[in-house]
């Protein structure tokens, strides 16, 4: 039996799946996965194929259903039984609707579940619980242009003006080319929901009705890369032949959608990709797919499909004059891990991803011999009227992570708090404040 241990705050919970032991229904699909096109177009099918092969199924392949953005993954047991998994990728909201209607066993979403959806699905259990809400990968919403557009960066305010139709020409945002042509994902898309939340709604704007809408990420990206006046937004794996812009949010530095900046969720338009597993009506294939996805093998598939895996790695950070002196000194002597711990909204409690990441960070620390005073935690916060209070709160957040690491035998070298310095997002909205309240892990 293969045992996978997933860490949640204060306890270790096992997912156990015996290879080849999952039940095969007499007829119909073993699993129905619905929701995000970002996940369902390629990543979801790849994970399903990986699970099937891990279960010992033979002749694993994809079948065309004849319906747009839908496919069936099939395999065969050693005794010749056919196993089917149906995947429909029409947008995040359709996954939650399918759970409600009983047409899906697992929802794929490229945004967090909404409060309204949570309430509507309460009969299935708490979909915000750590076992139900599973972050499976990190993605970045890239802003893309034609490769020959000379523009290098935009801030989120400029983006809102462009996509709402207020800024109608490239000259109004410091570039060349005349009228701006807008390209956007469709209404059902989690990518659109994320862009709307992070860019448009924060500025009180709505998408210009003249924008060309696409259900397919690939088609949108290809259309922008062929239009010298085009601009669009897209999931990270779908930049393809287009040019990605650096993005500024508030007082943050310009950031390109680079892997390390997205892994830490510092990039302003980074986002989490989710599976939502109903706690009260759990299909064993759905549980197995979640468990497989969180494994090292599953996360390797995440990376191979162009998303950012949650595998913890150390990265060098180049010091610069905009950093506080203490942070510059740290960057000269230590390396930063590719994870940030963040907190529940309005709470000092670590969020669900942080619960998972604690286990990954502990594994890294122990495997690399960093348990004895080789780890420094650095806390940050959002701006307060009293800078001293911001400094204190940032250190208290780091202390919350310290308590969990100490429980599992890690002796910390130092715990630092840098208050509201080095913001990664604007502080004038809840979303930005949540992103700025973070704890970094550095190793020597």
Instruction: Say if residues 154 and 173 touch (Cβ distance below 8 Å).
Output: yes
pLDDT digits (tens, 9 = 90+) for 112-154: 999 999 999 999 999 999 999 999 999 989 999 999 999 999 9
CA 418 to chain centre: 25
- Burial label, 20 (beta-carbon count in 10 A; 0-12, 13-18, 19+): exposed
Residues 6 or more apart from 194 whose CB is under 8 A from it? 110, 111, 141, 269, 271
Residue with tokens 């080095």: 422
Distances (CA, A) of 253 to 153, 249, 327, 335, 421: 11, 8, 16, 20, 12
Q: What percent of the chain has pLDDT over 90?
A: 80
Burial pattern 108-147, b for ≥16 Cβ within 10 A else e, equals bbbbbbeeebbeebeebbebeebbbbbbbbbbbbbbbbbe
pLDDT digits (tens, 9 = 90+) for 333-354: 999 999 999 988 766 789 999 9
In the chain the domains, ranked by start, together with CATH numbers, are 2-132+277-304 (3.40.190.10), 139-262 (3.40.190.10), 312-443 (3.30.1330.60)
pTM for this predicted structure: 0.83
Structure confidence at residue 382 (pLDDT): 86
pLDDT digits (tens, 9 = 90+) for 396-434: 999 999 999 999 999 999 999 999 999 998 887 777 888
Token couple for 270? 């980074």
Residue 318 has pLDDT above 60, yes or no: yes
Structure confidence at residue 298 (pLDDT): 98
Angle subtended by helix axes 43-54 and 284-294, to nearest 10:
100
Alpha-carbon gap, residue 421 to 418, rounded angstroms = 6
Residue with tokens 């010749």: 80
Of 182, 172, 173, the C-alpha closest to 152 is 173
Alpha-carbon gap, residue 302 to 290, rounded angstroms = 13
Residue 91 has pLDDT above 80, yes or no: yes
Structure confidence at residue 193 (pLDDT): 84
Residue with tokens 């708490």: 126
Read off the pLDDT band of 441 (50, 70, 90). Answer: very high
Residue 12 has pLDDT above 70, yes or no: no
Distances (CA, A) of 123 to 100, 112, 117, 120, 395: 9, 18, 11, 8, 39
Lowest-confidence pick of 54-58, 157-161, 267-271: 267-271
Across the chain, mean pLDDT equals 91
Residues 6 or more apart from 196 whose CB is under 8 A from it? 207
Read off the pLDDT band of 2 (50, 70, 90). Answer: very low
Instruction: Say if residues 120 and 290 touch (Cβ distance below 8 Å).
Output: no
pLDDT digits (tens, 9 = 90+) for 357-386: 999 999 999 999 999 999 999 999 888 878
pLDDT digits (tens, 9 = 90+) for 144-198: 999 999 999 999 999 999 999 999 999 999 998 999 999 999 988 888 988 998 8
Residues 6 or more apart from 282 whose CB is under 8 A from it? none
């Amino acid at each position: 039996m293969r045992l996978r241990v997933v860490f949640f705050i204060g306890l270790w919970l096992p997912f156990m799946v015996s290879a080849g032991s999952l039940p095969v229904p007499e007829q119909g699909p073993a699993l129905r996965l619905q929701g995000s096109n970002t996940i369902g177009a390629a990543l979801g099918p790849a994970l399903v194929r990986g699970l099937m092969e891990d279960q010992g199924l033979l002749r694993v392949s994809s079948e065309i259903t004849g319906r747009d953005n839908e496919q069936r993954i099939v395999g065969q047991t050693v005794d010749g039984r056919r196993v089917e998994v149906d995947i429909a990728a029409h947008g995040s909201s359709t996954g939650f609707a399918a759970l409600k209607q009983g047409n899906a066993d697992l929802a794929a979403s490229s945004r967090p579940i909404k409060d309204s959806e949570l309430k509507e699905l309460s009969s299935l259990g708490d979909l915000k619980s750590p076992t139900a809400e599973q972050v499976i990968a990190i993605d970045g919403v890239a802003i893309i242009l034609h490769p020959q557009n000379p523009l290098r960066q935009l801030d989120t305010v400029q983006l809102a003006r462009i996509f709402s139709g207020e800024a109608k020409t490239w000259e109004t945002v410091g570039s060349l080319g005349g009228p701006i042509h807008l390209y956007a994902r469709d209404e059902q898309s989690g990518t659109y929901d994320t862009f709307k939340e992070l860019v448009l709604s924060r500025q009180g704007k709505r998408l210009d009705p003249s924008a060309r809408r696409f259900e397919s990420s690939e088609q949108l990206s290809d259309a922008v890369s062929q239009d010298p006046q085009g601009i669009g937004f897209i999931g990270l794996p779908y930049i393809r032949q287009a040019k990605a812009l650096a993005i500024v949010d508030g007082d943050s530095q310009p950031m390109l959608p680079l892997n390390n900046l997205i892994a830490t969720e510092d990039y302003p338009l980074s986002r989490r990709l989710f599976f939502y597993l109903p706690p009260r009506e759990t299909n064993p294939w759905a549980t197995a797919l979640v468990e497989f996805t969180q494994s090292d093998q599953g996360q390797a598939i995440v990376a191979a499909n162009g998303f950012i895996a949650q595998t913890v790695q150390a990265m060098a950070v180049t010091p610069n004059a905009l950093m506080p002196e203490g942070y510059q000194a740290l960057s000269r002597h230590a390396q930063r891990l590719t994870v940030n711990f963040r907190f529940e909204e309005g709470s000092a409690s670590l969020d669900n991803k942080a619960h998972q990441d604690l286990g990954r960070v502990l594994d890294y620390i122990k495997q690399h011999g960093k348990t004895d005073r080789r780890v420094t935690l650095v806390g940050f916060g959002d701006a307060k009227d009293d800078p001293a209070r911001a400094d204190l709160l940032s250190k208290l957040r780091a202390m919350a992570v310290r308590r969990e690491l100490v429980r599992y035998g890690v002796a910390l070298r130092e715990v630092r708090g840098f208050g509201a310095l080095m913001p990664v997002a604007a502080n004038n909205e809840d979303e930005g404040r949540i992103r700025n309240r973070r704890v970094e892990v550095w190793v020597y």
